[in-house]
């Protein structure tokens, strides 16, 4: 069978499917020096296409999972990429063609895919309680060998997880060594069931809670504080009858308000406080903090549809809108269901990250991809959430960047004292680079820059695992008192 990819914008230039596994033992140092003491492994996941899509069309969040690993060992940095060889990948490998149609719409799949889960394992990688997993929000995690990236079994944690999926945006509490996660449409496509889980340091379920969502929609991300959970519901909705007619998995309902659930970290459905506000959307949360009776949620907020390729039920498209880092404030002492929203900074940015030790805790610094131009270039910035001030690396080159990863200089370093790891797309040279920046001095540019002889097509999210955590299965991190 001939393999020919469609001539669509998504597959042109840097977006052309790579379809290659790589092993590079020792990345070439271009400039600077890898900081001493930077020892550990950075895991990331992103989409690629194993075979041309069945429908001839595609969206950037779809495609089989490709896992990436950068291992830092006393200045020596190695790179490895491997396919997530889950059920979908193996079935298509055998068939030598794509077996799944429109994104998550099983009614458009090839009959040969019957009985095979369509999860792509393409969104995130996480290490907790001694196990590395690769994640996609419509599936359960797959275990992965942390040294070889060999794909292991799909896991429901010994039958302890009864939801059909788990989020690709779990939160790791590095101080308590807890994993907090959730499932939306948790009893199957089009259901309004939500499940929330906390896994303890031993990897066992320490808390489970179920509740009902306002509609069957997407909940891509959520946020935690030391005492609360914040779950936003934006009006990208799944309609089972429309799916049977071949529609996209989500449709944008611009007549619905944003809903937000706030509840205690170990609460019940009866403890939920519901808040409602203007129609907005967001893919990614930066952080949340409880301050007395108020809970603050910081997120990259869109004044409209963050996924414009998902149309309204009557087929209308949405104009692109920039994501603005904003703060929603929910006052639990109020007697009504309204909330307040204000911008933190006016400069557009996405894929926000914190110093992960401060997830859910009072904090000052956020790190984002900062948009710069219409030619595909971008850079990385640091935002002071207390003042809105932004510092960025103004590289002046034909470069776009992936989501940054903060690494503390030491387990007990003050917040924001450490390094930012960033994959660079050299758009004019057809290969990638790895940059290490001083998180306190982004404007100075990389302290180390390493050459990758391959193109890292796309990654979404990932996590840094210190050398000792990989060995012990526990994070030994501290925050300022």
How do residues 461-471 score in pLDDT, each as one tens digit?
999 999 999 99
pLDDT the model gives residue 423 = 98
Mean pLDDT of the chain: 96
Contact 155, 179 (CB under 8 A): no
Query: Rounded distance, CA 435 to CA 399, Å?
Result: 12
How do residues 277-324 score in pLDDT, each as one tens digit?
999 999 999 999 999 999 999 999 999 999 999 999 999 998 889 999
Query: End-to-end CA distance of the chain, in Å?
Result: 63
Neighbour tally for 19: CB within 10 Å: 15
How do residues 159-214 score in pLDDT, each as one tens digit?
999 999 999 999 999 999 999 999 999 999 999 999 999 999 999 999 999 999 99
pLDDT the model gives residue 320 = 85
Query: Could you give the angle at the alpha carbon of 125 between the alpha carbons of 290 and 159, nearest 5°?
Result: 85
- Confidence band for 259, pLDDT divided at 50, 70 and 90: very high
E strand or H helix that includes residue 421: strand 418-426
Question: Can you name the residues that pair with 196 across neighbouring β-strands?
Answer: 182, 209
The answer, yes or no, to whether residue 219 has pLDDT greater than 90, is yes
**Residue owning tokens 């308590």:** 176
- What the chain holds in terms of domains, given with CATH numbers, is 9-472 (2.130.10)
The string of DSSP letters for 5-44 reads ----GGGSGGGS-----EEESSPEEEEE-PPTT--EEEEE
Which of 163, 151, 152, 49 has the alpha carbon at shortest distance from 100?
Answer: 49
Contact 203, 390 (CB under 8 A): no
**Residue owning tokens 């896992």:** 67
Query: Rounded distance, CA 104 to CA 164, Å?
Result: 14
Query: Rounded distance, CA 146 to CA 429, Å?
Result: 31
**Rg of the Cα trace of the chain?**
21
The answer, yes or no, to whether residue 238 has pLDDT greater than 80, is yes
The answer, yes or no, to whether residue 381 has pLDDT greater than 90, is yes
Query: Rounded distance, CA 433 to CA 429, Å?
Result: 11
Dihedral pair phi/psi, residue 338, rounded to 5°: -85, 165
Query: Rounded distance, CA 268 to CA 364, Å?
Result: 31
- Residue 96: Cβ-neighbour burial (10 angstroms; 0-12, 13-18, 19+): exposed
pLDDT the model gives residue 183 = 98
E strand or H helix that includes residue 263: strand 258-264
Contacts for 450 with CB less than 8 Å, ≥ 6 apart: 27, 28, 29, 30, 34, 77, 433, 434, 435
Contact 371, 378 (CB under 8 A): yes
- Confidence band for 480, pLDDT divided at 50, 70 and 90: confident
How do residues 450-460 score in pLDDT, each as one tens digit?
999 999 999 99
Contacts for 332 with CB less than 8 Å, ≥ 6 apart: 262, 273, 293, 294, 295
Query: Rounded distance, CA 245 to CA 388, Å?
Result: 46
Long-range CB contact pairs, 139-148, < 8 A, 24+: 139/86, 139/165, 140/164, 140/165, 140/166, 141/166, 142/84, 142/86, 144/67, 144/84, 146/41, 146/43, 146/465, 146/470, 148/80, 148/82
Q: Residues of the chain with pLDDT > 70: what percent?
A: 99
Contact 187, 163 (CB under 8 A): yes
pLDDT the model gives residue 375 = 81
What residue ranges in 116-257 does DSSP mark as E strands?
A: 124-128, 131-135, 142-144, 151-154, 171-173, 178-184, 193-199, 205-212, 223-224, 228-233, 236-237, 251-252
How do residues 117-143 score in pLDDT, each as one tens digit?
999 999 999 999 999 999 999 999 999
Contact 209, 268 (CB under 8 A): yes
pLDDT the model gives residue 371 = 79
């Amino acid at each position: 069978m001939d393999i020919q990819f469609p001539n669509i914008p998504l597959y042109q230039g840097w977006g052309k499917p790579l379809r290659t596994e790589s092993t590079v033992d020792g990345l070439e140092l271009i400039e600077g020096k890898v900081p001493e003491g930077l020892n550990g492994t950075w895991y990331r996941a992103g989409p690629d296409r194993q075979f041309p899509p069945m429908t001839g069309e595609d969206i950037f969040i779809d495609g089989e999972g490709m896992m990436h690993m950068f291992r830092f060992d006393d200045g020596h940095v190695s790179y490895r990429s491997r396919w997530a060889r889950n059920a979908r990948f193996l079935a298509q490998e055998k068939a030598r063609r794509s077996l799944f149609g429109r994104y998550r719409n099983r009614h458009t799949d090839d009959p040969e895919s019957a009985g095979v889960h369509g999860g792509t394992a393409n969104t995130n990688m996480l290490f907790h309680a001694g196990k590395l997993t690769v994640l996609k929000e419509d599936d359960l995690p797959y275990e992965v060998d942390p040294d070889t990236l060999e794909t292991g079994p799909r896991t429901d944690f010994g039958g302890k997880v009864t939801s059909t999926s788990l989020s690709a945006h779990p939160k790791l509490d590095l101080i308590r060594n807890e994993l907090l996660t959730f499932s939306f449409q948790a009893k199957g496509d089009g259901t309004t069931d939500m499940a929330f889980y906390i896994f303890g340091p031993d990897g066992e379920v320490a808390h489970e809670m179920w509740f009902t969502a306002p509609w069957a929609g997407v909940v891509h991300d959520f946020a935690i504080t030391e005492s609360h959970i914040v779950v936003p519901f934006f009006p990208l909705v799944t309609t089972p009858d429309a799916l049977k007619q071949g529609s996209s998995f989500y449709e944008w309902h611009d007549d619905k308000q944003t809903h937000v659930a706030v509840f205690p970290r170990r609460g019940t459905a009866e403890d939920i406080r519901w808040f409602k506000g203007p129609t907005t959307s967001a893919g990614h949360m930066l952080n949340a903090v409880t301050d007395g009776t108020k809970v603050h949620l910081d997120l990259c907020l869109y004044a409209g549809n963050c996924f414009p390729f998902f149309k309204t039920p009557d087929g209308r498209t949405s104009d692109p809108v920039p994501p603005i880092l904003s703060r929603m404030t929910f006052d639990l002492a109020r007697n009504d269901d309204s909330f307040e929203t204000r911008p933190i900074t006016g400069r557009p940015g996405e894929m926000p990250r914190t110093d992960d030790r401060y997830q859910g805790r009072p904090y000052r610094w956020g790190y984002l991809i900062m948009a710069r131009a219409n030619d595909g270039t971008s850079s990385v910035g640091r935002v002071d959430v207390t003042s809105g001030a932004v510092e960025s690396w103004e590289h002046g080159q034909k470069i776009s960047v992936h989501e940054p990863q903060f690494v503390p200089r030491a387990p007990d370093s003050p917040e924001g004292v450490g390094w930012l790891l960033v994959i660079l797309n050299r758009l004019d040279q057809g290969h990638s680079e790895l940059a290490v920046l001083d998180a306190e001095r982004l404007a100075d540019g990389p302290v180390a820059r390493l050459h990758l002889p391959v193109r890292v097509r796309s990654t979404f999210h990932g996590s840094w695992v210190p050398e000792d955590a990989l060995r012990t299965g526990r994070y030994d991190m501290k925050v300022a008192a």
